Amino acid sequence: MKNLLLIFAISLLFSCNSSAQKNSPQLEKEYPVSKTDAEWKNQLTKKQYYVLREAGTERPFSSELNKNYEKGIYHCAACDTPLFLSNHKFDSGTGWPSFDKEIEGNVAFGTDTKLGYSRDEEHCATCGGHLGHVFNDGPKETTGKRHCINGAALKFVPSK
């Protein structure tokens, strides 16, 4: 029964969209840090698991990091890869930690059509953990980008 379901799921995946694999970075792709579902569940809190591994979104204004403006580096909460610098953080008013720039190469992008329209999804390039989305309504004086990131996906490391 399990196998049948799996075959069904796989055939769905391939019949929907030939670029499905490219658009679903968390499916099947190998990352430098790769763990089983059980291992991630064991390591992460419920909220972190929901965001990072199930591409969930935390409630706005629920993260302590939303209003954090200390100097430092935001790391991936799952694999500790540095993802964002504090000097690229700004107050977007959305209730999620927002950055105008990522640490290049450490963040990877995909497409998410969960809400019925296409959004640029972003995830950790090292472990594939979902971080949030990037939009084009960021600060015009810098990059114009707004990386809307779940605080649950981040671990803040203050600079000494």
The answer to whether residue 51 forms part of the interface with Zn ion (CB under 5 A) is: no
| Binds Zn ion by CB under 5 A, chosen from 51, 55, 107, 127 | 127
The answer to whether residue 129 forms part of the interface with Zn ion (CB under 5 A) is: yes
Question: Which strands form 82-85's sheet, in the order they lie side by side?
Answer: 82-85, 72-76, 154-158
| Binds Zn ion by CB under 5 A, chosen from 55, 76, 149, 154 | 76
Task: In whole angstroms, give the CA distance from residue 105 to residue 96.
Answer: 22
Which residue shows structure tokens 């291992």?
Answer: 39
The amino acid that residue 97 corresponds to is: P
Task: In whole angstroms, give the CA distance from residue 74 to residue 80.
Answer: 9
Stretch that binds Zn ion, among 10-18, 91-99, 128-136, 141-149 (CB under 5 A): 128-136
Of the candidates 76, 79, 124, 148, the residue annotated as catalytic is 148
The answer to whether residue 149 forms part of the interface with Zn ion (CB under 5 A) is: no
The verdict on whether 79 is a catalytic residue reads no
Count of residues that bind Zn ion according to CB under 5 A: 8
Stretch that binds Zn ion, among 39-47, 58-66, 67-75, 80-88 (CB under 5 A): 80-88
The answer to whether residue 79 forms part of the interface with Zn ion (CB under 5 A) is: yes
Residue 89 near residue 149, CB atoms below 8 Å: no
- The gap from C-alpha 146 to its chain's centroid, in whole angstroms, comes to 13
Task: In whole angstroms, give the CA distance from residue 33 to residue 126.
Answer: 6
Which residues are near Zn ion by CB under 5 A?
76, 78-79, 81, 124, 126-127, 129
Catalytic residues, which ones?
Answer: 148
